[in-house]
Amino acid sequence: MPFGREIVGDTRHWFFGRARLKPCPAEVIILLCQLTWKILPGLRGLSCSQFTATPTASPDTEKGVAIDFSSESERDALLVELETRFAAERFSNSASAFETVKAYVLGRAASKM
Whether residue 86 is contained in a domain is answered as yes
Whether residue 15 is contained in a domain is answered as no
Whether residue 9 is contained in a domain is answered as no
Res 70 pLDDT > 90: no
What is the pLDDT at residue 82?
95
The residue range of the domain holding 53 is: 30-111
Whether residue 13 is contained in a domain is answered as no
Whether residue 87 is contained in a domain is answered as yes
Whether residue 57 is contained in a domain is answered as yes
pTM for the structure as a whole: 0.70
Work out the pLDDT band at 14, boundaries 50, 70, 90.
very low
What is the pLDDT at residue 76?
93
Whether residue 6 is contained in a domain is answered as no
Number of folded domains that form the chain:
1
The DSSP output letter for 25 is -
Cβ contact 68:95 at 8 Å: no
- Sign of the CA dihedral running 50, 53, 59, 65: positive
The DSSP output letter for 89 is -
